[in-house]
Amino acid sequence: MNHPSSEEIQLRAHQVMDGSLENSRRILGLTIDLCIFFVYFYVFLCFLILFY
């Protein structure tokens, strides 16, 4: 059996970690965008209620 070397294992671990961090950044970015959207939506609804 051919077992991976410690360097190969470490490289794979870094690749998995990089992918995980990138996904976390993407989710955080989408969450922030969604929060901003809801703030603008709430302000828009307040203006509709006040000036309608």
- Asked whether residue 6 is assigned to any structural domain, the reply reads no
Higher pLDDT, 9 or 34: 34
Which residue in the block uniquely carries the two structure tokens 């809801």?
38
Which residue in the block uniquely carries the two structure tokens 């209620």?
49
- Asked whether residue 30 is assigned to any structural domain, the reply reads yes
**Domain, as residue range, for 42:** 17-52
Read off the pLDDT band of 1 (50, 70, 90).
low
Which residue from 43, 11, 31 is spatially nearest to 51, judged by alpha carbons?
A: 43
Element (H, E) at 14: helix 6-51
- Asked whether residue 28 is assigned to any structural domain, the reply reads yes
- Asked whether residue 27 is assigned to any structural domain, the reply reads yes
pTM over 0.85: no
- Asked whether residue 7 is assigned to any structural domain, the reply reads no
Which residue in the block uniquely carries the two structure tokens 């006040």?
50
Q: Angle 20-25-29 (CA atoms, 0-180°, nearest 5)?
A: 150
What secondary structure letter does DSSP report for 50?
A: H
Domain count for the chain: 1
- Asked whether residue 2 is assigned to any structural domain, the reply reads no
- Asked whether residue 10 is assigned to any structural domain, the reply reads no
pLDDT in tens, 13-50: 888 888 999 999 999 999 999 999 999 999 999 999 99
